[in-house]
């Protein structure tokens, strides 16, 4: 389910750090972009929103499942997947069952709350082939020897790539473990096709955690960060804007660009500053 029609680029505007949404005219030459940059930005916005939506569904679904399953630790739960359904996102907690997997609990999050939930008896809901592929991608991502920038277990987000090969994107995300701090490092993406990793990438070269409030609880107007690995911001920058509830100014060192990644009217967007 997608609530937002996302868009990537607003050109011809420059933004002040003290007022991220107040714009003034900038020379067209300063904001002209290549087709590759425009395509990269649109992909970042689309994927960033999905990562956030699926992660939120898993978070709220977990809270609801723990309310319902007082004996969760005895049910052999091996993880969760999230399905995009008509009225939200369905989080399904699964366990091994013979040669496949079955659901233990499922709940639908509509973007605000879990609107329905259900526990399943053994054998009552066997996972479909598509769901089993998501389980495989989840477990495969978890097994990768990559750097995660927290002692807590990483979060995993899996959804279809939309490509003709029927592959899945599996994200391994460093969790937020401290209020007032957002991890920008230790996030990874794996592209899984037919149960095997086809491609993978990291989003930073090292761990990086940014405060979103000082010791007195005062929040900045925006965050700023340098990015070395891509000529445009990525889906992790979009995801982090939602997590921090703050705009993020991204300086891409490959081309000397500055971008404003933000949410306006509930919709994620990326604006070129220079």
Residue range 42-100, pLDDT digits in tens? 999 999 999 999 999 999 999 999 999 988 888 999 999 999 999 999 999 999 999 99
Which of 266 and 236 is assigned the larger pLDDT? Answer: 236
Does residue 95 lie within any of the structural domains? Answer: yes
φ, ψ of residue 225 in degrees (nearest 5) = -155, 145
Q: Exposure pattern of 83-114 as b/e (b: 16+ CB <10 Å)?
A: beeeebbbbbbbbebeeebbbbbbbbbbeeeb
Does residue 17 lie within any of the structural domains? Answer: yes
What is the pLDDT confidence band of residue 12, given thresholds at 50, 70 and 90? very low
- Element spanning 65, H or E: helix 35-68
Does residue 4 lie within any of the structural domains? Answer: no
DSSP secondary structure code for residue 230 in this structure = -
From the CB of residue 141, how many other CB atoms can be counted at a distance below 10 Å? Answer: 25
Sign of CA dihedral 260, 3, 84, 55: positive
Does residue 2 lie within any of the structural domains? Answer: no
Nearest to 13 by CA among 202, 259, 214: 259
Q: How far is CA 122 from the centre of its chain?
A: 31
Rounded to 5°, the CA angle 36-270-23 comes to 125
Does residue 45 lie within any of the structural domains? Answer: yes
Q: Which residue range(s) make up the domain with 182? A: 13-272
CA–CA distance, 93 with 73 (Å, rounded to integer): 12
Whether residue 152 contacts residue 175, with contact meaning beta carbons closer than 8 Å, is answered with yes
DSSP lists the bridge partners of residue 232 as none
pLDDT in tens, 108-163: 999 999 999 999 999 999 999 999 999 999 999 999 999 999 999 999 999 999 99
Does residue 155 lie within any of the structural domains? Answer: yes
Does residue 226 lie within any of the structural domains? Answer: yes
The domain total for the chain is 1
Does residue 260 lie within any of the structural domains? Answer: yes
Highest mean pLDDT among 18-27, 139-148, 178-187, 206-215: 139-148
Q: Give one word for 139, left, alpha or beta, with left for phi > 0 and alpha for psi -120 to 50.
A: alpha
Whether residue 46 contacts residue 6, with contact meaning beta carbons closer than 8 Å, is answered with yes
φ, ψ of residue 127 in degrees (nearest 5) = -70, 145
């Amino acid at each position: 389910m997608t609530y937002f029609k996302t868009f990537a680029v607003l050109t011809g505007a420059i933004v002040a750090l003290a007022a991220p949404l107040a714009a003034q005219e900038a020379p067209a030459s300063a904001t002209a972009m290549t087709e590759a940059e425009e395509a990269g930005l649109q992909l970042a916005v689309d994927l960033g929103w999905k990562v956030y939506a699926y992660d939120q569904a898993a978070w709220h679904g977990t809270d609801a499942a723990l309310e319902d399953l007082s004996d969760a630790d005895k049910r052999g739960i091996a993880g969760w997947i999230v399905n995009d359904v008509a009225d939200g996102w369905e989080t399904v907690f699964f366990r091994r069952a013979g040669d496949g997997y079955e659901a233990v609990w499922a709940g639908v999050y509509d973007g605000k709350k879990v609107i329905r939930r259900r526990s399943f008896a053994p054998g009552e809901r066997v996972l479909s082939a598509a769901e089993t592929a998501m389980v495989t991608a989840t477990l495969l991502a978890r097994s990768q020897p990559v750097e995660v920038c927290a002692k807590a277990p990483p979060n995993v987000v899996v959804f279809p790539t939309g490509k003709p090969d029927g592959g899945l994107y599996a994200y391994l995300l460093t969790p937020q473990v401290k209020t007032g701090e957002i991890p920008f490092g230790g996030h990874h993406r794996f592209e899984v096709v037919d149960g095997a990793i086809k491609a993978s990438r990291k989003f930073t070269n090292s761990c990086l955690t940014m405060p979103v409030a000082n010791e007195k609880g005062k929040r900045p107007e925006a965050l700023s960060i340098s990015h070395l690995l891509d000529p445009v911001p990525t889906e992790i920058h979009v995801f982090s804007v939602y997590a921090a509830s703050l705009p993020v100014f991204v300086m891409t060192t490959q081309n000397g660009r500055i971008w404003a990644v933000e949410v306006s009217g509930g919709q994620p967007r990326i604006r070129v500053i220079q």
